[in-house]
Structure 1
Amino acid sequence: MKNHLLAIALLCLSLTGCSTLQMEERSTVAIFERSNPAVVCIQADDQPEDDFGTVASGTGFLWDKQGHIITTQHLIAGYKTLTVSLADKRTLEADVIGFNKEYDIAVLKLRSLENLPPPAVTGSSANLKVGQTVFSIGNAFDLGRSFTTGIISAVGRNFGDPQTGGISNLIQTDAAINPGSSGAPLIDSSGRVIGVNVAIYSLSGGSEGIGFAVPMDTVKSVLPRLLAGDTG
């Protein structure tokens, strides 16, 4: 009888440990499932293929019900129209509405608004803490959607030379951000977008745990001008 009770007790302890892990996993899965529909993969129709048979690609996310998409300026530079792939596999055309080179942010607008998923939920970047958990959904290497996680490594970072187009006051994260993830949302543990991924620091060309995102409060400050068609 004692052995039977001991076995039950050990089983309960084992299940409790698994339950804790499963709850954490369920929370992470829920963040992806809530955030993913608003994320889009972006390509330019007339880009030439590189030596590997691929074209430059990036990511963005739906800003509102009017079909506006936030992405990066360096991705759309030189193009007026791009192809956007939704989570449900639909492919739509989007036009460049406005962009800001200083912060590397651009706005596209979908030509079709039929059955669009809900826009991304955004938060404030005013009180971010080093060490808090973040997530990213990006079109890494044009392989399709990739969900990565990490922490905020630093805030207020500068990337590049301001005299030649560097960006200041960025969020630094060790969440994997690879080529193709430019424009991807940086998401907090509540599923709110707190930044837009714009760059990586890498000696190899891939993620080395040093990625940068424009804070959401910065994006919101320039967005009205971009929605109005500013291309400064």
Structure 2
Amino acid sequence: MFCHHLLLLVTAAAFVAADESLRLYHRVYHPIVPELPFALRGTVNINDSLLVTFRPSESISEPLQQFADSLQPGAVDLHDAQYQVALERAGDTAEAHWDISSVKLCHLEKIKSESIILHTTAGPDPSPFAIDYFVSPIPLDGSCSKLKKRKLDSTALSSFVKQVQLLMVDTTVTVQRPSLPPLPELRAPPPITQSGEPVVPVPEKSFIQKYWLYIVAVLIALVMSGGPPEEEGKK
């Protein structure tokens, strides 16, 4: 069994109770193939020291092979098949109540790393309630590349399953608590009168209206001082 590289990002000091185990499940789903039950993908343990361990199931490739064996004679489009990862609800074993995240099955052909994000509730005792699952690398357009138009029967899909080695994938487990966006900056409401009407601002005075007294005083001073003295005539 290959070692998985694990990463835990915790945004708060508290998490689930000490040594609480979270079970993850997985399966392959196709809209025209009878729905298969989930199989154990692995367990996530987080202790009171916030140390995380992820233990994959020994039969991690079993759901892929079960899907291949379930195909009837004929063919299915691999582009429509999905690989689903589910988070078991605490105390609820009903698969219909689990939170599910999925990727296209064809993206597992060249998978090198996978990211599992567990979202928790707020409060002093948060508990996981949702899961996000991502794989890398994938095409920029999200298509199935050259496999997009390939039709696979059970034999061809069994060959594809053998190429998918989930135990060799680097796994990142991330725990995220909810966060609120910054509050918008609100302007103060305009003042209103007792009748509810907006207060009409007083029109701003012009320069003449503000300083006419000073202007008049200057003009009077100039008039009172008289004109410049007359020059004496030449003798």
Bigger share in strand: 1
**Rg larger for:** 2
With the length of structure 1 as denominator, give the TM-score of the two structures: 0.25
Higher relative contact order (Cα pairs below 8 Å, separated by 6+ residues): 2
With the length of structure 2 as denominator, give the TM-score of the two structures: 0.25
